[in-house]
Amino acid sequence: MDLMMALLNDMLFSAIPAVGFALVFNVPTKYLPYCAIGGALGHGLRMLLIHYGLLIEWGTFAAAFTVGSLGIVLSKRLHVSSAIFTVAAMIPMVPGVYVYKAIIALVEINHIGYSPELWALFIENFLRGISIIAGLAFGLALPVLLFQRRQVSH
């Protein structure tokens, strides 16, 4: 039961920034619930996958792929761009903590001087942050490439 409560809590608090960024991106009000669902579904799925042993990078990729696929289904049903639903839904999964820790390590290296521990901290957090961003990008782009047909005009 603790996992279920943690999952619901995670999904609720992931829907809030998804809606907030959707407002910043001027998403029409009638589509905000879909952005909330996308943010909650993506972050909740990633949390669940990580809980069951998947690395955060792969969990992020799977969650982004799922949200991207949902965005394509919604875009076909509602006749709008899938980006309306997916971009804001990705925001809660942005790896801010890892990038922040990498920057702090870099600042400390500059201030204190080189040490193998600080350098390792920088490299580890930087690579993890970049890998998560790559998972978001590829996970969001892949459904578009696989499922969305482009019309060619002649």
* Full-model pTM: 0.90
Cβ proximity of 109 and 87 under 8 Å: no
- Look at residue 1 in the predicted model and tell me its pLDDT: 74
Cα 127 to Cα 150: distance, rounded to the nearest angstrom:
34
What pLDDT digit, counting tens, does each position of 100-125 carry?
999 999 999 999 999 999 999 999 99
Cα 2 to Cα 8: distance, rounded to the nearest angstrom:
10
SS (H, E, C) 23-88: HHCCCCHHHHHHHHHHHHHHHHHHHHHHHCCCCHHHHHHHHHHHHHHHHHHHHHHHCCCCHHHHHH
pLDDT higher than threshold 80 for residue 9? yes
What pLDDT digit, counting tens, does each position of 22-75 carry?
999 999 999 999 999 999 999 999 999 999 999 999 999 999 999 999 999 999
Q: What percent of the chain has pLDDT over 70?
A: 96
- Look at residue 151 in the predicted model and tell me its pLDDT: 59
- Look at residue 148 in the predicted model and tell me its pLDDT: 72
Eight-class DSSP state of 149: P
Residue-by-residue DSSP string for 94-135: S-HHHHHHHHHHHHHHHHH---HHHHHHHHHHHHHHHHHHHH
- Look at residue 143 in the predicted model and tell me its pLDDT: 94
- Look at residue 86 in the predicted model and tell me its pLDDT: 94
Mean pLDDT of 15-20: 96
Mean pLDDT of 80-105: 94
- Look at residue 150 in the predicted model and tell me its pLDDT: 67
